[in-house]
Amino acid sequence: MVKPLKRLWFVIIFSFLLLVPISENPTIRDRSILKVTKAEVASGHVYGELVIEEIYEEIAISKIRSIVQRFTENGSRYISAVFDADIEGPNKYARNYIIGQLDGLSGGKIEIEIIGSYYNVVGKLPGYLPGNNPVFIVTAHYDSPDGCPGANCNGAGIAAMLVLAEVMSKFKWPLDIYFVALNGLHPHGREMVDYLEGSREVSTEFEHRGIETLALFNIDTILYPDPDAPNDEKVLMGYDGIGDYSRGQYWAELTRTISNNYGSNYISPVPSFLFPLWGISDHYPFYIRGFSGTICAFESGWAVDPSYHSGNDVYFNVLFNYDICREVAAAIGGSMAYVMGRTYGERREFNFSFIIQHGWTEKIYIPITVATNIEVTCRWFVGPASFSITDPFDQVIGVAEFDHASAWEHTNLFNISVSNRGLYTLILNNTGNDVVGFELCYSYDSDIDHNGILDSKEFWIDTRLFGTDSDSDGISTADELFLGTDDNNIDSDSDSMDDKYEIDNGFDPTDPSDGAADYDGDSLSNAEEYILGLNPWSVDTDFDLMPDGWEHEYGLNPLANDADQDPDEDGKTNIEEFLAGSNPFLAEPEVLSIPTFSIAIVAIVSVIIVIGWWKDQEFEL
């Protein structure tokens, strides 16, 4: 026997299904589907948003391998002298291939020129900030030793540079990024003697132009790791071991940080006095001319690499690990994104979510450049856990152990003052018996150029621009630069919606197409909603159960609850007219409409059920 309570619920649900009007457009749109992040606003302008994970996702091993295959298929790219560089042959073919790839992979965004008598290919991806700002440079040589097809030396370096040029071109960065393919590394043969001809030419020219670097990443031979080395020593990242921390070591440790925190943890920073290639790779002429942040990526297994500078240096060599090439490219791209994605006025803050198996640990590296305090909070879901922090000398400076914690709120773990510059390590241990999910958050101040001013208090533009607003649209001149909007026009894309309104509502103020779009599906465009003062993310701005588009079409007020009014005095309220599909301003003869018929059916069914319910009650009695 059906219980009375279940029957009453059936009546309610059945009645609701019959009374709700059917519409082709949804009444509620999941705004999260159309959420626009800061990184996506203004066609990819990056500011205050980390896109490191996106960079890792975009770089594919298959793409790298195919580039190396195509780049090396014509054999050795060796040139014996400068005049050989322009002779038809593998070296020239390789140069033309690089030019075509830089142009094609970037969609024409990279500006390309040839510098020097050795025909060095220099591509510049322009940043959006005005003025003479510091730049990033990525270099790799495109010639190879005599008789060496050069898949590893240095087809892999060129491939890493090209895929990096492709993925970095998908965004608009505040600073210029140079991608430089150097020639003439091996003009005198295989001997490690005086060469580096191309890098001398480009570094000299850049010095004359007054170009200042934040960092220069040189990618050399990287496909063969030391088979006996730990996982984090597949690639050696050489840096100036005797200079200021911020001009060398920091950048090598930053690539290690990115590789560990986001990637495969393949990178080991090595000071120049222990780095075998410090004075004989293409970064060195830039270094001796005073360019900051010059570092060099080189394989850890070079001393035992059986294919080094030989005819076996082919793309299909089974000893080569293309995952290393991908990791180097992604870690370099992530390092640039890390620096350029910061927000003026805010500390560096990072959030990670991950799962740790029972008895396992997770390490997070934190590069510290200035005296600061490291704040750490975490939320985890099951059982006990322990946490610790070590300084650059591997000394434990903080320990926190918990038998349990709130699964809903973050637990404060550390607020530790630190002063030594270097790489700190945050260690998480799952000491329970279950698999545990962690949500980690940590923050700190930084000063990457070591000029005594925190990064949160300076930027690569005049910071006074954060307090000016030329067109009085509520967006500062600085923010207009970050967004790519016109500081002298309140509607940069001429779509009839002010820039500030678009930003506040998650639209793109540089894309005119969103003015004609209808994100909430109420038959009114976003521009019409703006003009009418309606909510572009709500079908029913005034919550009177009548869609904005229907109210506007029939001359009602979509900003006021007028559902119970009867302007045509035909005895039917506006909400009843909407449900009946009739005109609220046109009195019509009484017709048994579909909604009325539905109400009648509901009433009949309800009576039958109620009668049955009473009979059940009588039977039970």
What integer is the mean pLDDT of 163-177? 97
Helical pair 322-340 and 249-262, crossing angle rounded to 10 deg:
110
pLDDT digits (tens, 9 = 90+) for 86-104: 889 999 999 999 999 999 9
The CA dihedral of 520, 524, 529, 531, to the nearest 10 degrees, is: 170
Residue 593 is predicted with a pLDDT of: 47
Residue found under tokens 């609220």: 584
Residue 597 is predicted with a pLDDT of: 52
The answer, yes or no, to whether residue 47 has pLDDT greater than 80, is yes
The answer, yes or no, to whether residue 22 has pLDDT greater than 60, is no
CB-facing half-sphere around the CA of 214: CA atoms within 13 A:
23
Q: What is the DSSP letter of 18?
A: H
* CA 427 – CA 409 distance, rounded (Å): 20
pLDDT digits (tens, 9 = 90+) for 362-378: 999 999 999 999 999 99
- pLDDT tier at 83 (50, 70, 90 boundaries)? confident
- 576 vs 390: which has the higher pLDDT: 390
Out of 25-39, 165-179, 308-322, which region has the weakest mean confidence (pLDDT)? 25-39
- pLDDT tier at 10 (50, 70, 90 boundaries)? very low
Residue 568 is predicted with a pLDDT of: 86
- 443: three-class secondary structure by DSSP: strand
Residue 13 is predicted with a pLDDT of: 38
Burial 72-83 (b: 16+ CB within 10 A, else e): beebbbbbeebe
Out of 25-39, 151-165, 380-394, which region has the weakest mean confidence (pLDDT)? 25-39
Contact criterion met (CB below 8 Å) for 158 and 71: yes
Residue 2 is predicted with a pLDDT of: 39
Three-class HEC string of 455-520: HHHCCCCCHHHHHCCCCCCCCCHHHHHHHCCCCCCCCCCCCCCCHHHHHHCCCCCCCHHHHCCCCC
* CA 322 – CA 217 distance, rounded (Å): 19
The model's pTM: 0.82
The answer, yes or no, to whether residue 226 has pLDDT greater than 50, is yes
Going by C-alpha positions, the residue among 385, 397, 384, 454 that lies closest to residue 425 is 397
Going by C-alpha positions, the residue among 143, 328, 166 that lies closest to residue 234 is 328
pLDDT digits (tens, 9 = 90+) for 123-150: 999 999 998 999 999 999 999 999 999 9
The answer, yes or no, to whether residue 236 has pLDDT greater than 70, is yes
Angle value at C-alpha 333, between 330 and 338, nearest 5 degrees: 115
- pLDDT tier at 189 (50, 70, 90 boundaries)? very low
What integer is the mean pLDDT of 397-422? 92
- pLDDT tier at 554 (50, 70, 90 boundaries)? very high
pLDDT digits (tens, 9 = 90+) for 581-602: 999 998 876 554 445 555 556 5
- pLDDT tier at 433 (50, 70, 90 boundaries)? confident
Q: Where are the beta strands (DSSP E) in 196-342?
A: 213-219, 235-239, 267-271, 294-299
Question: Domains plus CATH for the chain?
Answer: 50-340 (3.40.630.10), 348-444 (2.60.120.380)
What integer is the mean pLDDT of 541-557? 92
Contact criterion met (CB below 8 Å) for 535 and 521: no
* CA 479 – CA 441 distance, rounded (Å): 26
* CA 290 – CA 204 distance, rounded (Å): 11
Q: What are the beta bridge partners of residue 178?
A: 124, 137
Residue 477 is predicted with a pLDDT of: 87
> What region does 373 belong to: left with phi over 0, alpha with psi -120 to 50, or beta?
beta
Residue 598 is predicted with a pLDDT of: 56
The answer, yes or no, to whether residue 23 has pLDDT greater than 80, is no
The chain-wide mean pLDDT, for the chain, equals 87
The answer, yes or no, to whether residue 576 has pLDDT greater than 50, is yes
Residue found under tokens 């042959």: 89
Residue 406 is predicted with a pLDDT of: 80
Rounded to whole angstroms, the maximal C-alpha distance in the chain is 111
List all residues 6 or more positions away from 348 whose beta carbon is below 8 Å from its beta carbon. Answer: 342, 443, 444, 445, 446, 455
* CA 293 – CA 296 distance, rounded (Å): 10
Residue 381 is predicted with a pLDDT of: 80
What integer is the mean pLDDT of 568-583? 90
**Long-range contacts for 350-353 (Cβ within 8 Å, ≥24 apart)?**
350/50, 350/261, 350/441, 350/442, 350/443, 351/439, 351/440, 351/441, 352/261, 352/438, 352/439, 352/440, 353/437, 353/438, 353/439, 353/440
Omega of the bond leading into 132 within 30 degrees of 0 (cis)? no
Residue 19 is predicted with a pLDDT of: 38
pLDDT digits (tens, 9 = 90+) for 343-400: 999 999 999 998 998 889 999 999 999 999 999 999 988 789 999 999 999 999 999 9
Q: Dump the DSSP string for 382-427.
A: SS-EEEEEE-TTS-EEEEEEES---SSSPEEEEEEEE---EEEEEE
Going by C-alpha positions, the residue among 350, 535, 533 that lies closest to residue 439 is 350
Residue 264 is predicted with a pLDDT of: 95
pLDDT digits (tens, 9 = 90+) for 267-288: 999 999 999 899 999 999 999 9
Residue 407 is predicted with a pLDDT of: 80
Contact criterion met (CB below 8 Å) for 369 and 415: no
The answer, yes or no, to whether residue 442 has pLDDT greater than 70, is yes
Residue 26 is predicted with a pLDDT of: 30
Residue 540 is predicted with a pLDDT of: 93
Residue 600 is predicted with a pLDDT of: 55
Three-class HEC string of 122-180: EEEECCCCCCCCCEEEEEEECCCCCCCCCHHHHHHHHHHHHHHHHHHCCCECCCCEEEE
